[in-house]
Each structure stands twice: as structure tokens, then as C-alpha cells.
Chains A and B, each alone.
Chain A
Amino acid sequence: MRQDKTAKRYLINGIALALLMAVSVCISLTGGNTIKLKVVPAVWQCCYLIIMAASLNLVLGFLGQLSLGHCGFMAVGAYTAALISLAFQRAGIYEAKSGAAFILVVIASFIAAGLLAAILGLIVGIPALRLKGDYLAIITLGFGMIIVNLINNIPFCGQQGLSQGAASSALYANGLGFSNDEKMKYMWLGILAVILCMTVMFMFVRSKYGRIIRAIRDNEIAASASGINVSFYKVMTFAFSAFFAGVAGALYSCCNSALATTSFAFTNGSILNSVFIVVMVVIGGMGSLTGSVVAAIGMFLLNYTIKNGAWVNALPGFLQGIFTYPMLVYSVALIIVIMFRPRGIMGTSEFALYDIPKWPARIKKHFAKEAAKSEKREEAAVNE
């Protein structure tokens, strides 16, 4: 009975994903101007944000360690992918940005980006994960800064390399930097990357390793007492998560024709920085991969429509005043979410599309339970 249900869930999710792929291919063949200018770039940005949020969730939500330098790995991935694609172009593997050779190079650069980031994750993780909590946060922050500082100082990829001038136009003309037309043409590639990465992450979380790292999160001492090699699993998860951050970086360099290290700093203007990836994970739910996906898309859409949407203009004047400072909105939202749901909106629960019709009933039940609880508490208070 239960197995039957699970099978149904997987079937429905599988069909939904297949549909998504089909739609993306259709769009890339037939899309008009608005789709090209608005929808497709948005989809690409969602792609890397989803992978980033989910990969950080492995460390933050499932392993229970705060990493503030996750964008450092993304930077490594972005620069690696961009440089590899340019190198292949110079070696003459592909001429124009089309054809099987080009797609193979793109895929190879994605994998290389992930691998290099994972190796770096290993190097960072071995010393860093001996520390806990606040100390780990500050160490990862430090590593993120070191990575950015080093990239800045490498002559061929620093601030003067891929961010401006001849090198950046080279990236655009010959390397990974996609134009709007190419973004539309290769949208399936981005979506495929997301589906693959998410599937692997799900499999990881549901495997015995996933159970082990959740045990470490819930009680490290108890876990090590039950014979789990805590440091090994911590470092492994860290490197695993860094791999996906690297892939997200590669996707990022597809989206942007110019790479600048400031985009990967600890804090900067946009929603892509180590802090706001943390925000996505927390809002979505620490320990819920589906929550991360929803939160990444939601945060992106919020950010995008605040700047480019018409609905902000429809708001009363004082609200518009707030929305001219989007970072303020996000941080206040984050504080409110944490106040009411410390583990994020989704908590640690996942959802399948199959269950969505049952949600209203569940939510009702949840609130009824809460009300009962608080009533009991009040009674207890009265009795005291």
C-alpha cells in the first residue's frame, strides 16, 4: 500500500520533470521576444540559485553547520568553467557556439568546475570542520574571502581579466557567456543540469549517508558514540556540497558575459551572495531540499519583480518607499520567518506534487493542533 503510494509519487514527479524539459525545449524553439528577454534569463538565474540553495542546504540544513563562504566555491566554478571553455575554443575544438562539440565542451566545463570546487571544498573542509558553530561560520567566511582575494590576484582571471575589456568580450563571443538567443537555444541544458543535480542530491539525502549526516546534526556526540566517523562525513558532505556550488558557478558564467569577483563577495548589492543564499535556505526550510527550490524561485521572483514588475507601482506610496530598498525587505522578512518558524517555512519536511491536493486539509489540521496546544498551555497557566 505504502510502497504503491511512493511509486505513484515518483511517477508524478517524473512526469512533471519530463514535461518541464519538453516545455523548455518547445520554448527554446518557438519563443517570442518577451520570452527571450524576460522569461529565459530569469529561468537561467533560477537554475543556478536553485542549485546553490540546495547545495548549501546539504551543509546548513542536513549537516547543521553554517557556512558563510559558499559563494567562494561558486566563484571557483564560474572562473574554471569560463577559462576552460575559452581554452577549448583557442585549441580549436569548436568554432561557433553551436553543434555537438560545443555542447560537449559546455558539459565538460560544468563537470570540471564542480570537481575543482569539490577539491577546494576538501582542502577547506579538513581544517575548518574541526571547529563548530560560530567558529566554523567565521572560518568559512574567511575562506570565501581568501578565494576571492586570490582570484583577484591571478593575472589571467582577476578583476582585469574576465570582467571587462577584451577578455570579457572573448568570453561572450567564444566562451560560455551566452547571448539572449543562445540562452533560449540552450535553456534545456540549464534545466537538465538542475534536474540532474537535484536528483543526485535527493538520492544522497535519502541514502544511508543522508541518515548519517542528519544524525550528526541532531546530536554529534551521540552519533560519534554510535560509531560514526564524524569528521569523515562532515568533510565528505562539505566537498559534495562544494561540487554543486561549482556547477552552479558554471551555470552563472553561462548567464553572464562578464565575471567579476565582487559578485561573489560575502555581501554585495544583489541577491547572489553568501548571505542571501543562507536566507533562501533558512526561509525554505533548513533540511528541506524542495523547500530550497521553492525559496530560491520565490526569492528570485520577488527580487526580480520588485525591480521590474508593475505590482510595486500599484502599492500605496509608503510601501513603495520600502520596496526601493529591497535588501531591507528581505532582511526584515528573514527575521520574521525566524521568529515564527526557526527551522524555516518548510521545516525539515519535503513534499511531492502528488500531495499538493491534500494540503488544505493538512494545514487545517496543523492549525487545529496548534490551537489545541496553546489552549492547553493557557489552561496550564491558569491552573498554576
Chain B
Amino acid sequence: MKKKKLISLFMAAGMALSLAACGSSSSSEAAASAPASEASAAVSAAGSEAASGDFAGTITLGVIGPMTGTLAVYGTHISNGVELAVEQINADGGVSIGGEAYALATETKDDQGDSTECLNAMNALISDGIGLVVGSATSGCTSAITSVANSEGVVLITPSGTADALTTEMDYVFRTCFKDSFQGQLAAKYAADNGYTKVGIVYCSADTYSAGLRDAFSASCAELGVNVVAEESVATMTDVDYTNQFNKMVSAGAELVFIPFYYDVTGPYLVPQARQAGFSGVLLGCDGVDNTETTIPDGADLSVYNDFYFINHYAEDLAATDVSSCFVSSFKDKYGESPNNFDALGYDAVLVYKKAMEAAGSYAAADVQAALADTSVVYEIASGKFSFDETGTPIKSGVLMGYSYNEGDAAVTKSSIQTLEVE
């Protein structure tokens, strides 16, 4: 009797241990790959005085994001981008403040995609004496910590919190992505410029990103005289069937449908189902759609991905700066996959911090905040070039990109089409 109990306990423990083995093996893998890429970074930086080892000190950046749980994919990618940037900066001689070089380090906290956990993580970082924080991934979590950042005087750069009201004038919150209303404007302008008069919207009412973009898009459409003929929603971002929504788009006669979703919805579900429902017009998404090429199922009819466009932060082929192309190649070296938006925006956040610290000549939060609040500075980052507006949101241009099916090599390719700007 007792023995059996013990056996079952051991088996449970064994299960846990086997998991631990997985966990540790992955971390050792990461550790093994790190020196290699460091070496390559050092090689790429040959010529500059890359003398790591004699730093005057270490500046720790706080990183908050969902590292486990349902939103883990966003957090882990942001963290990948941040780690890459930190590694490169350190290999390049660190951050030079007042003539002395400082190394960067990170302290990463998991918020599991929940606002309470996010607040705890932020408070813990502040009490550890950290004044510069990158985070969090979603608008919902970020809005839970903006108030703390302002009241405690800690700089917060959110890589991917797009909700309009996150950043306000003269405060400690900045971001490296564009805000919802800007993307909505770009999308509406694209529709107006290309002569679409009847557009539809399919969005998720329970998601801040999706609903925020929908609000911005329909407001801009009203201004530009584009007629929104149908508007349909889904209850959660984990919904799998979009056929009914597109049936309605077809019967309302929409020529273009705005789809503010993420790539994990558009690739496997939304686009094929929209075409199956008989919708043949243009599908227009936003930055979340980038990387759809990784979620296109093999064996499906790939021609459905024609006429599928999205607005993005940057394009590899339109990469305006050396930083972008360097980022893309070194990311591929380090992680063995193409970077997505979260990777790029996390990377950008660190570059922005570096420039601001060097401009301020200090790494104290208040000084860095003052440097960031200077709207004349132009930052050269992975996703292009930008300067902050008075609220702390980048003024950048967007890129319209599109997917097309190439019958020759039976593959879907992504290419940039044009640069989008709002007057």
C-alpha cells in the first residue's frame, strides 16, 4: 500500500525531473550558441575598438514580458531581440557615458500576460534599483504599469504596446512601435488612395490590439469618405472559424476587408477561410500580420494568399539603414530564424536606450527621460529611422507589404510594395 504510494510519488517526481532536463538542456544550448554568435559579432565589429572586459560598470535594463503562458510567444521574441542588442552593444564596446564604457545587462521578469503579475514585476524591478525598463508586450499589461513608471520616475519603453493612450505628454513612457490610430490612418488612406469605396472590417472585440485598430480604421474611413459596409467581430483571439464573418462581407459587397489580427490567425485560419467563403477582394492587415509566411500550412491551396497586404514597420528589401540589414543577418545567425516584429521592436528599444544614455551622459532615469523627450533626435534602428513625437510615440513611415503566390516555385513570397505616410 505505502510502497505503491511512494512509487507513484517517485514517478511524478520523475516526470518533473524529465521536464527539468528539457529545461536545462535548452538553456545549455542557448549558452553554447551564445559564445559563437558573440564571436561573430566581434568579427563583424572588427576595426572598432571592441575591447570587452574593461568596462567601468554595468547598467541593468529591466525586461518584462509574458515568457510563459498563452502569450509566451510575444514575450520570448521581445526578449530575444533585447538579448541580441545587448550582446552586440557589449561586443561593440558598450555604452559610452562621460568617456567611460559601460556594459549592458538585463534582468528579465515573466508577467504571464497578466496585469497583476506585470505590476509585481515592475515594482520588483524598481525596488532592485533599475531605472530603465523594456516592457510589456501587450497594451493591456503595459497600461497596468505606465502609472507606476510615471509616479516612481522610471523610464519605460514598450516595444509593442500600441494602444493610443499609453504614452502621454512629458512622461516616462515611450514606445518603439507605432500607435493604433496611426496604423488605422495608414490603412484607411491606402483604401482611399486606391479607389476602394466599400470596405469591411473583421476584428476581435475582446482584444485591445484588434479593437483599437478597428476604432482607428473606421474613424479614418469616415474622414476620408470611405464607406464601411460591413463590420463583424469574433469573441476571442483563439476563435478558429471566420467563414460566417466573410460570408457577410461577400453579401455586403466589400471590396477590401481590414483584418487587424496576428499572423497565427491569418495564416492557418482567416485567409484560406475568407477565400473559401468566396471573398476575392483585398485583405489588408496590420503589423501583427507580419510573419504569416511561417504559419501557412503545407499542402493547402496557396493561391489564396494573393491580394493579401499588410502594413509593417520595416521591410528587409526597403531596409533604409545598415542597422536593419545587420540586425536581420545577425538575428538569423544567432537564432536560426528570421526575426519578426517583436524581435525587431525589442532590439530597437535597447538601441534607443543606448543612444539616449549616451546623449544624456548618464544612466539615471530622469536624465534618460529628458534625453528621450527631445523630439529632434533621430534614432537609427532596425525598423528604420524615427524621432519621437511630443508624447513619446515614434513618428515613422509605414511600409505596405504584400504576399503573393508564385506558381513557378510553388511558394508564397512576401515583398514590399510602397512606403506609406500620413501628411
Give residues in A with beta carbon < 8 Å to B: 33-34, 37-38, 41-42, 45, 149, 152-153, 158-160, 163-166, 168-169, 172, 177, 179-181, 252, 255-258, 260-263, 268-270, 272, 304, 307-308, 317-322, 324-328, 332, 335-336, 339-340, 374, 377
> Would B116 and A336 count as touching, CB distance under 8 A?
no
> Would B120 and A324 count as touching, CB distance under 8 A?
no
Cβ-closest chain B residue relative to A42: B120
A contact residues around B146 at 8 Å (CB): 169
B contact residues around A158 at 8 Å (CB): 205-206
> Would A269 and B114 count as touching, CB distance under 8 A?
yes
Cβ-closest chain A residue relative to B168: A169
Q: How far is the CA of A335 from the CA of B8 in the complex (A)?
A: 11
B280 contacts the other chain (Cβ, under 8 Å)? no
A contact residues around B69 at 8 Å (CB): 268-269, 327
Query: Contact string, B181-220, partner A, CB cutoff 8 A, digits 1/0?
Result: 0000000000000000000000001111001100100000
Cβ-closest chain A residue relative to B142: A164
Cβ-closest chain A residue relative to B112: A269
> Would B208 and A179 count as touching, CB distance under 8 A?
no
In the complex, what's the smallest C-beta–C-beta distance from A319 to chain B, in angstroms?
Answer: 7
Q: How far is the CA of A263 from the CA of B113 in the complex (A)?
A: 9
B68 contacts the other chain (Cβ, under 8 Å)? yes
> Would B152 and A180 count as touching, CB distance under 8 A?
yes
> Would B24 and A258 count as touching, CB distance under 8 A?
no
> Would A152 and B235 count as touching, CB distance under 8 A?
yes
A169-B115 contact, Cβ under 8 Å, with A38-B124, A177-B147, A304-B120? no
Which residue, B15, B68, B117, has most C-beta atoms of chain A within 10 A? B117
B378 contacts the other chain (Cβ, under 8 Å)? no
> Would B126 and A257 count as touching, CB distance under 8 A?
no
Q: Other than the known A37-B127, A160-B211, what 4 A-B pairs have Cβ atoms closer than 8 Å?
A: A38-B123, A269-B113, A304-B120, A332-B12
Instruction: Out of B147, B165, B211, name the residue touching A257 (CB < 8 Å).
Output: B147
A contact residues around B114 at 8 Å (CB): 262-263, 268-270, 272
> Would B165 and A332 count as touching, CB distance under 8 A?
no
In the complex, what's the smallest C-beta–C-beta distance from B131 to chain A, in angstroms?
Answer: 13
Instruction: Out of B9, B68, B144, B151, name the residue touching A325 (CB < 8 Å).
Output: B68
> Would A256 and B12 count as touching, CB distance under 8 A?
no
A268-B109 contact, Cβ under 8 Å, with A164-B143, A374-B2? no
B27 contacts the other chain (Cβ, under 8 Å)? yes
Instruction: Out of B16, B121, B164, name the residue touching A332 (CB < 8 Å).
Output: B16
> Would A269 and B165 count as touching, CB distance under 8 A?
no
Cβ-closest chain A residue relative to B163: A164
B71 contacts the other chain (Cβ, under 8 Å)? yes
> Would A181 and B115 count as touching, CB distance under 8 A?
no
A169-B165 contact, Cβ under 8 Å, with A38-B124, A268-B113, A332-B12? yes
Q: How far is the CA of A256 from the CA of B147 in the complex (A)?
A: 10
B contact residues around A263 at 8 Å (CB): 114-116
Q: How far is the CA of A374 from the CA of B2 in the complex (A)?
A: 9
A165-B164 contact, Cβ under 8 Å, with A41-B123, A256-B144, A263-B114? yes
> Would A160 and B147 count as touching, CB distance under 8 A?
no
Cβ-closest chain A residue relative to B233: A153
Q: How far is the CA of A332 from the CA of B16 in the complex (A)?
A: 8
B contact residues around A325 at 8 Å (CB): 19, 23, 68
Q: How far is the CA of A272 from the CA of B116 in the complex (A)?
A: 9
B140 contacts the other chain (Cβ, under 8 Å)? yes
B20 contacts the other chain (Cβ, under 8 Å)? yes
> Would B211 and A34 count as touching, CB distance under 8 A?
no
Query: Contact string, B1-44, partner A, CB cutoff 8 A, digits 1/0?
Result: 11001001100100111011111100100000000000000000
B contact residues around A320 at 8 Å (CB): 23-24
A contact residues around B205 at 8 Å (CB): 152-153, 158-159
Query: Contact string, B134-154, partner A, CB cutoff 8 A, digits 1/0?
Result: 000001100110111001100
A41-B151 contact, Cβ under 8 Å, with A152-B235, A269-B70, A269-B114? no
Q: How far is the CA of A328 from the CA of B13 in the complex (A)?
A: 12
> Would A262 and B140 count as touching, CB distance under 8 A?
yes
B contact residues around A260 at 8 Å (CB): 115, 140, 208
B348 contacts the other chain (Cβ, under 8 Å)? no
> Would B68 and A317 count as touching, CB distance under 8 A?
no
B315 contacts the other chain (Cβ, under 8 Å)? no
> Would B208 and A321 count as touching, CB distance under 8 A?
no
Which residue, B5, B124, B126, B206, has most C-beta atoms of chain A within 10 A? B206
A contact residues around B208 at 8 Å (CB): 159-160, 163-164, 260
- 23 A-B contact pairs sorted by A residue (CB < 8 Å): A159-B140, A159-B211, A160-B215, A163-B208, A165-B163, A179-B147, A179-B148, A180-B148, A255-B116, A256-B116, A256-B119, A258-B143, A260-B140, A261-B206, A268-B69, A269-B71, A269-B112, A308-B121, A317-B24, A318-B21, A321-B22, A324-B68, A335-B12
Instruction: Out of A149, A160, A172, A272, name the residue touching B212 (CB < 8 Å).
Output: A160
- Give me the 4 closest cross-chain CB pairs, A-B, nearest first: A321-B23, A269-B112, A269-B69, A270-B114
Instruction: Out of B1, B127, B140, B211, name the residue touching A374 (CB < 8 Å).
Output: B1
B contact residues around A164 at 8 Å (CB): 139-140, 143, 163, 165-166, 208, 212
A contact residues around B2 at 8 Å (CB): 374
> Would A166 and B165 count as touching, CB distance under 8 A?
yes
> Would B23 and A318 count as touching, CB distance under 8 A?
yes
In the complex, what's the smallest C-beta–C-beta distance from B392 to chain A, in angstroms?
Answer: 14
Instruction: Out of B24, B111, B124, name the residue touching A318 (CB < 8 Å).
Output: B24
A contact residues around B24 at 8 Å (CB): 317-318, 320-321
> Would B68 and A326 count as touching, CB distance under 8 A?
yes
B67 contacts the other chain (Cβ, under 8 Å)? yes
> Would B115 and A327 count as touching, CB distance under 8 A?
no
Q: How far is the CA of A9 from the CA of B292 in the complex (A)?
A: 65
> Would B165 and A149 count as touching, CB distance under 8 A?
no
Cβ-closest chain B residue relative to A309: B124
